[in-house]
Amino acid sequence: MKTELEKCMAGEWYDCHDPYFIEAKAKASEWCTRYNAVPYSQRGERRKMLEELFGAVGKNVSVGDNFTCGFGRNIYIGSNVSVNLNCTFIDCNRIDIGSDTLIAPCVHLTTATHPVELADRLTPDWNPDSGEYRWRTYALPIRIGQGCWIGANVVVLPGVTIGDGTVIGAGSVVTRDIPPNVVAVGNPCRIIREINV
C-alpha cells in the first residue's frame, strides 16, 4: 500500500493532512520566517539556508526577500538562477528550474490542485470530527527549462513544462506546456512569437 507521500509524488489523490505533510509544512514555514529575516547583504548565510532546505541548488543562486514555499525539499534549482522578491513556490510535487533562468517578482509556481467536479473534489462520507481533510488534493510537477525568463506576477499551474530559452510575459497564467524558445503571454498563456537561436 502506498504512503500518502508516494501517492502525492505519483500525482494521485492524497491526504495533505497526513502527519508527514504537517511536519514538513511546519519545518518549511519556520525556515521561511528565518530566511526572510536574514538581510540580503548576508548572501553566504542565505546560501547555506537554501542548501539546508531545497532538494538541490546550483552555484550562484539568489532567492529574494519574502519568499514562501510549501515544503522546500521538492525545489531543484540549477546554477546562475535569480528568484526575485515575493515569490511563492507551492512544491507539494517537484519544481525544477533550469540554469541561467530569471524568475521575476511575485511569481507563483503551484504544483497542488483539486478535481474540478464537485463530486470528485469532496471527500465522500466526510466527518468533520474525523480530522480527515474535506477536499481531495493532488499535485503535479512543474519544470522550467534552462535560460528562461518568467515575468512578474506570472502564475504557473500544476503539471506545466516550460521549454528552454522561453520567455513568459508578465501577468500570464500558464495552464499548459510551452515549447522551447518562444515568447508566450496572456491568460491563458499563448505563444506570440518564436525566439531566434
177: left (phi over 0), alpha (psi -120 to 50) or beta: beta
Selecting among 114, 140, 161, 173, the annotated active-site residue is 114
Catalytic annotation present for 17 = no
How far apart CA 54 and CA 94 sit, in angstroms, is 11
Q: Please say whether the beta carbons of 61 and 103 come within 8 A.
A: no
The answer, yes or no, to whether the previous bond of 188 is cis (omega within 30 of 0) is yes
Across-strand partners of 183?
167, 193
Give φ, ψ of 79 to 5 degrees: -90, 155
Say whether 16 sits in a helix, a strand or coil.
Answer: coil
How far apart CA 161 and CA 157 sit, in angstroms, is 10
How far apart CA 108 and CA 165 sit, in angstroms, is 19
Question: What does DSSP assign to residue 70?
Answer: S
Residues labelled catalytic? 114
